[in-house]
Each structure stands twice: as C-alpha cells, then as structure tokens.
Amino acid sequence: MSFIVGIDSGGTHIVGQVIELNGNIQKNYETGSGNILIDEQKTKLRLNKMIETIFNEYSLKDCVGIVIGIAGLDTFGEISGLKKELTTKFNIPVVLMSDATLALWNILSGNEGILSLSGTGSAVFSRFGENVDRIGGWGYLVGDEGSAYDIARRSLQTLTSSYDQGKNKQFIDDYLKEVGQKDLFSLISKIYSSNRKEIAELSMVTNKLSSQSHIAKEIISAAAISLANQTILMMRRHTNISKIIIGESGSVLQKNNFYKSVFEKTILDIYPETKFITTSRNNASGSIYWYQQHKEDFKI
C-alpha cells in the first residue's frame, strides 16, 4: 500500500495522518502543540517523534513523501534547515508550508478559492494557481478583526463605555453575572492578568447573551461584518473570477450560527453567486490534495 504522510502542526496540537493515494485515511496520530515561531525546538522534536512513530508502524518504502503545514512558518522564515534535516533523516521527499496553506488545500478540496478563518484569531487567505495570498491575520494587538478575541474586545469596550456613560446597565449586570464577577473593576482587573486565549473565550459569553440582548447581538454582527469586509477585499483582488468558493474555518464561523449568517449575507449582498463550503476533515488531509496536483514535483 503506497501512502502519503500529512501533518497539520498547529498552535493547539499536531495531527498526523497516514493517507492512501486514493484519499482513504489509514490512521490518525496526535501530540502536543506545534507552532515553530513560539517554540522551535519542541515543534521540531514533536514532528520528528511523530514521523518516527508512523514509520515504526508503516513501511517507509511504501511512503511517497511527507507534507507538513506548520503554524508560524511564514513569520519564522528559515525552513531549509528543517526540510533538509527531515529529508536526510528519512530519505524521503518532504514539503513544508504554513498551516494556513495546508488548510486551503483541505477545506477547498484542492480547488481554487478563498479561506476565511475565525477562531481565536482571524485571517483571510486565497489560492489561485500557485499564488497564495493573505489579508488580515496581523495578530490580536493590531488586527484579527472578526475573531473570538475581537468579539471579546468589542464586548469589553462596550461594557466600559456603557459604564462611563451610565447606560446599558442590564447588559453590564447580565455580563458580570455570566463571568462571575461582582463589578466591572474586578472583571477588567482579571482581564489584565489573562492570556490571549482566556480573553478570547469571553466571546462565548457574548454569544450566550445574544439570544436576549440586542447589544450582544450587535457586537457579534459587527465582528462578522468586519471579517466579511476583509473577505470582500480579497474577492476584489480576483475580479476576473465570476464564481468564487469561500471555505469557512475556525470555531466562530463554524459554531456561531448568527455570526455565520451575518458573514455570508454581507458577502452575498455584493457577490450573490458565491458558494460557501466547510469540512469536518482535519487539515492534515490537505496533503493528499496537494500531492495529487504536484506528483511530478515530489522529489528529494
């Protein structure tokens, strides 16, 4: 059985797959986080160990190559050393790309199009031909519009401005009750000792309140529109394409139905023929789609 090894090395965890050349997944593997920019040594160690584990169970001679998408790779810069290390160690073709590029191949099933991502952070990507482009994704301090972090930030700004103006008391009280804080000062104090992921999780509070609060609903709507506007900006870079596929990824887009509906409507109002897709496959599966279109380039 000939197969390819696909690996999605993300900031939360690393997922590896043994995939037959017809696309059938033989086995999944999982280990700790793998953002090379945050922790280069641990990421390399975990990738090496995962590949070793796979080849302890599957014959190396039957593997046509390894495709790895790695979080932080675009910013990290120097990848030739890691590629050479893996190629030399396993004597097999190795392709490295960003985790976002691998996600493009997976969610779009190898087709050209756009990927809009809204999880803890956010960004919009596109692939047409061999050109991969990005809008947004500048991080939580200066960007990540439409992300869970952005929803939390907008909520906190609404809370503090409402307090200063002496309005929206019910929204403030409901929010504080949900987070278990006695007053706004205690909440803000906690925020400044929280990490990015902990702050982003507050978006779930806003989502819960949106069923009864128009203010919470407006916050989510504004965040969804901001990501939609970035997606529209990407679409305008490709005006020669009449029908564009948009892949939706990330916990906010996939789990918040109201956010998703506002996001899609904003785009459809301008580009009514747009098609939206998503997938439950792990992004490691993107490796088989890449391989199917690059077999001739898959060499040591």
Query: Is 287 found in the same domain as 235?
Result: no
Task: Label residue 71 by pLDDT band (50, 70, 90).
Answer: confident
Element of type H or E holding 68: strand 63-70
pLDDT digits (tens, 9 = 90+) for 240-287: 776 889 999 988 998 999 999 999 999 999 999 999 999 989 999 999
pLDDT digits (tens, 9 = 90+) for 15-68: 999 999 999 999 999 999 888 877 888 999 999 999 999 999 999 889 999 999
The token duo for 55 is 């080849």
Residue 34: predicted pLDDT? 87
Task: Label residue 300 by pLDDT band (50, 70, 90).
Answer: low
Identify which of 165, 143, 284, 107 has the alpha carbon closest to the alpha carbon of residue 223.
143
Query: Is 39 found in the same domain as 23?
Result: yes
Specify the pairing of strand 245-249 against strand 3-9: unpaired
Q: Which residue range forms the structural domain that includes residue 36? A: 3-109+281-297
Query: Is 261 found in the same domain as 195?
Result: yes
List C-alpha distances in Å: 45 to 8, 42, 185, 235: 15, 5, 43, 39
Residue 76: predicted pLDDT? 59
Three-state SS for 139-196 is CCCCCCCCCHHHHHHHHHHHHHHHHHHCCCHHHHHHHHHHHCCCCHHHHHHHHCCCCH
Percent of the chain as helix, strand, coil, to the nearest 5: 50, 20, 30
Query: Is 188 found in the same domain as 75?
Result: no
pLDDT digits (tens, 9 = 90+) for 112-155: 999 999 988 889 999 988 888 999 988 888 888 999 999 999 99
Residue 239: predicted pLDDT? 76
How many Cα atoms sit within 13 Å of 158 on the Cβ side?
Answer: 25
Residue 80: predicted pLDDT? 62
CB atoms within 10 A of CB 297: 10
Q: Classify residue 129: in a domain, yes or no.
A: no
Q: Classify residue 127: in a domain, yes or no.
A: no
Residue 271: predicted pLDDT? 93
CB atoms within 10 A of CB 200: 24
